Amino acid sequence: MFGSIRKLFTRVTTRSARPGPEEPVRPARRPPNLFEAAAVYVAASADNDQESADEARGWVSPEALSFGVSELACRAVIALARERDESPRTVARALLGLPSA
């Protein structure tokens, strides 16, 4: 269950450290936005990766991270509800181990 969520939000990079002839040199990376921070934070928390969670926590304000995590939770519940053909309420309660309402 959590593996499918983790796949949605975990980015895997396969680039080499030095760009090859087919890879253009890219400008310096922009700072992460609140949604990137939330995705990294939640995926790291699911993997018990405290170092990555702490790093993501430093990218944005606590309020912004909270908003991003909330938005991520809403989107994940909606996606799972559609996948399971169930209501978001049923899915959210099931994820939290609560009895059906």
Give the integer Cα–Cα distance in Å for 40 and 24.
26
- The alpha carbon of residue 50 and the mean position of all alpha carbons in its chain are separated, in whole angstroms, by 15
Token pair of 27, please? 């400008």
User: What angle, 0 to 180 degrees and rounded to 10, lies between the N-to-C axes of helices 88-95 and 62-84?
Assistant: 110
CA distance 90 to 30: 38
In tens, the pLDDT along 15-31 reads: 444 455 555 444 467 77
pTM: 0.68
Identify the pLDDT of residue 32: 78
Residue-level pLDDT at 30: 74
Predicted pLDDT at 14: 38
- Please list the rounded mean pLDDT of every run of 10 residues in the chain (101 residues): 48 43 55 91 96 95 97 97 97 94 73
**pLDDT at residue 89 in the model:** 97
pLDDT at 28: 62
